[in-house]
Amino acid sequence: MKKYYLWLILVMGAGNPITSELINRFGTAEEVYRAFRNNCAAAGGDYARKAEKTTLEEAEKLISKLESENITIITTEDELYPENLKQAENPPVVLFAKGNVTLLKNKLLTIGGTRRATEYTIAAETAICEELCREYTLVASLCTGCEQLACLSAIKQSKGCIEILPCGHNHEYPKGTQVMRQQILMNGGCILTEFLPETKSSNANYLKRARISGGISKAMIIFQAAADSGSLNAAKYSPALFFIPPEDVFSEKYSAAVTGVRNGAKLYLSPKSLKTAFEKDYKPKNVNFDKPAKVYKKEDSDDIPPVIKEEIVAEASPVSDNQQFETPNHEKVFNFISEKPEAVTFDEIYRIIDGDIADLSEILLDLEIAGMIRAVAGNRFEKI
């Protein structure tokens, strides 16, 4: 029953891997609840104390509140829960959806890529997504760049798409996207999250969202990504990964495609490229992005074809210090944190950048993913 799942979320929080372990151990959310009540669930003293204070009545009130806000509760026991997502690492035990939830049973295709797409990427993605959304339901976010463009392509074709949020339904992320979100719903789309309505976005939530974005679909297309792109977080969870042929195989902007194709990803050349990934007997492949991306040296070959060939081996082009940063703000934030003898707060960093809170959150996440900084207690950050 849904109330036991909501009770678990109230106790354990969204995206907690211990929740999945407990359900695997006891079988159902109801059995986990009974185990806590019988002091049998070995989830730690803090959770035991929280469980003791949290009642089923609170869960039932929460269900009524969600229903009044037209939010559908989907648990792992429901038929609407995406089968592919169940196979992902630490699958969310509850999804909260607005809009056309029947889309979750369609052929889902995740779209990813940089927030700073080139003209080539924009042109290619627009044409490709407008074609693909006729057969597939596109999954993305409204983050500026490749993901937002995928949603816009579906809207222009009057097709439903699925947006994945890093926050609850009662928060707007990114800022200024509420009208577009309404357009998604008006076109028969669905907005999905694992977070309760009042949950704000955070660095940790972006990483939690990644496993849903990548794991919910049978395939994912990345249109443009550098070696340290945040879109690669979702790619790690995708059963089948595709890249479009880079505009320039020498460019760092497309270096993830070079690494991905060398390590098992495929190039997207036409809708036929996806056919194998959606066959029942398809076996997922793990694409390793841990190795540093290599960028071809132009002097090594005058005739590298537009389709990357795995047998071509070339050394990485040297990268100057300022090229390792995606934007001037990335460099400014990193330098500011590096120069401080102690960890600095989010507010202190915010004062030195040109942008809003959402921009800074994304910058900090990018730097954290790149292994340049780390978050510490008190919403503070320090150089690694």
112, 223 contact by CB (below 8 A): yes
Confidence band (pLDDT; 50, 70, 90) for 176?
A: confident
pLDDT value at residue 43: 58
* H or E stretch at 369: helix 357-369
pLDDT at residue 128 tops 50: yes
Q: DSSP string of 175-240?
A: TT-HHHHHHHHHTT-EEEESS-TTPPP-HHHHHHHHHHHHHSSSEEEE----TT-THHHHHTT-SS
More confident call, 293 vs 97: 97
Tell whether the model's pLDDT for residue 274 goes beyond 90: yes
Least confident of 32-46, 114-128, 329-343: 32-46
Backbone angles phi, psi at 271, to 5 degrees: -55, -25
User: ∠ at Cα 217 (1, 76), nearest 5°?
Assistant: 10
- pLDDT higher than threshold 90 for residue 196: yes
Length of the chain: 384
Pair 185, 164: CB distance under 8 Å: no
Closest CA to 225 of 114, 315, 137: 114
Q: Is 212 left (phi over 0), alpha (psi -120 to 50) or beta?
A: alpha
**Percentage helix, strand, coil, to 5, in the chain?**
45, 10, 45
Task: State the pLDDT confidence band at 286, using cuts at 50, 70 and 90.
Answer: confident
Q: Please give the average per-residue pLDDT across 275-290, as a whole number.
A: 82
Q: What φ, ψ does residue 236 adopt, rounded to 5°?
A: -65, -20
Report the C-alpha gap between 333 and 246 in whole angstroms. 29
Q: Average pLDDT of the chain?
A: 85
Please tell me the predicted confidence (pLDDT) of residue 250. 81
- Residue 264 and residue 241: Cα distance in Å, rounded? 8
User: Model pTM?
Assistant: 0.75
CA distance 217 to 69: 27
Higher pLDDT, 193 or 361: 193
Using DSSP's 3-state secondary structure scheme, residue 74 falls into: strand
Joined tokens for residue 355: 């942008």
* CB contact at 8 A, 163 and 181: yes
3-class DSSP state for residue 59? helix
Paired tokens of 315: 């050394």
Q: What is the pLDDT of residues 75-127, one digit of tens each?
A: 999 999 999 999 888 899 999 999 999 999 999 999 999 999 999 999 999 99
> Given the structure tokens 């089948």, which residue do they identify?
240
Q: Give the range with max mean pLDDT: 57-61, 324-328, 361-365, 366-370.
A: 57-61
Residue 308 has pLDDT above 50, yes or no: no
Q: What are the beta bridge partners of residue 368? A: none
Tokens of 125: 């993605």
Task: Give Cβ neighbours of residue 330 (< 8 Å, ≥ 6 apart).
Answer: 363, 366, 367
Beta strands 190-193; 219-222: pairing state: unpaired
Exposed / middle / buried, residue 110 (Cβ in 10 Å: 0-12, 13-18, 19+) = buried
> Residue 309: what pLDDT?
39
Residue ranges and CATH numbers for the domains of the chain are: 1-68 (no CATH), 101-278 (3.40.50.450), 321-383 (1.10.10.10)
Strands 266-267 and 241-243: parallel
> Across the strands, what pairs with 75?
94
Residue with tokens 């211990």: 18
